[in-house]
Amino acid sequence: MMSMVRSEFRKVTTTKVLLWLTIAAIAFSALNVVLLVFLTPRAMDIDPELNLLLDPAYVTNILGAAGSSSIFILILGIIGMTSEYRHMTITSTFLATPKRPRVLIAKGITYAILGAALGLIAFITSLAVTLIALMSDEHAPVDIVTALQILGGVVLAFAIYAFVGVSVGALIRNQVAAIVGALVWVLIVEALLTVFVDWIGKWLPGGALNAVLQTTNVTGRGGEDILPTAIGVVVLLGYAVLLGLLASLITLRRDIT
Partner 1 sequence: MSPKGEVLTVTSLTKRFGKVSAVQDLSFTVQPGRVTGFLGPNGSGKTTTLRCLLGLVQPTSGRAQVGGHDYRELPHPAAIVGAALEASGFHPGRTARGHLRVITDAAALPAARADEVLALVGLTEAAGRKVGGFSLGMRQRLALAAALVGDPGVLILDEPANGLDPEGIAWLRNFLRARAEEGRTVLVSSHVLSEVQQTVDDVVIISKGRLVQTGSLDELTSAGLIQVRVRTPNLDVLRAALVAEAGSTSVNIFDVSPDEVLVSGLSAPEIGNLALSKQVELHELTPVGTDLEALFLELTAGGNPGGAA
Residue 36 has φ and ψ, to the nearest 5°, of -70, -35
Length of the chain: 257
For the CB of residue 81, give the shortest distance to partner 1 in the complex, in Å.
13
Segment near partner 1 (CB under 8 A); pick from 43-51, 87-95, 153-161, 221-229: 87-95
Residue type, 5: V
Does residue 42 touch partner 1 according to CB under 8 A?
no
Cβ proximity to partner 1, 106 vs 236, nearer residue: 106
Decide whether 4 or 59 has the Cβ nearer to partner 1.
4
Residue list 98-127, contact with partner 1 (CB under 8 A): 98-99
Q: Please report how close the Cβ of residue 160 comes to partner 1 at its closest, in angstroms.
A: 24
Please state the closest distance from residue 164 (CB atom) to partner 1, in A.
Answer: 23
Site for partner 1 in 122-151 (CB under 8 A): none
**In the complex, minimum distance from the CB of residue 107 to partner 1, in angstroms, rounded to a whole number:** 12
* Residue 248 makes contact with partner 1 by CB under 8 A: no
Q: Which residue, 175 or 210, has its beta carbon nearer to partner 1?
A: 175
Contact 42, 82 (CB under 8 A): no
Report DSSP letters for 203-244, one per residue.
GSHHHHHHHHHTBSSSS-B--TTS--HHHHHHHHHHHHHHHH
Tell me, by CB under 8 A, how many residues bind partner 1. Answer: 27
174 binds partner 1 (CB under 8 A): no
Q: Which of 96, 177, 187, 250 binds partner 1 (CB under 8 A)?
A: 96
User: Which residue of 40, 51, 83, 248 would you call a contact of partner 1, by CB under 8 A?
Assistant: 83
Q: Which stretch binds partner 1 (CB under 8 A): 20-28, 52-60, 94-102, 237-245?
A: 94-102
**97 scored as a contact of partner 1 (CB under 8 A):** yes
List residues near partner 1 by CB under 8 A.
3-4, 6-7, 10-11, 14-16, 83, 87-99, 253, 255-257
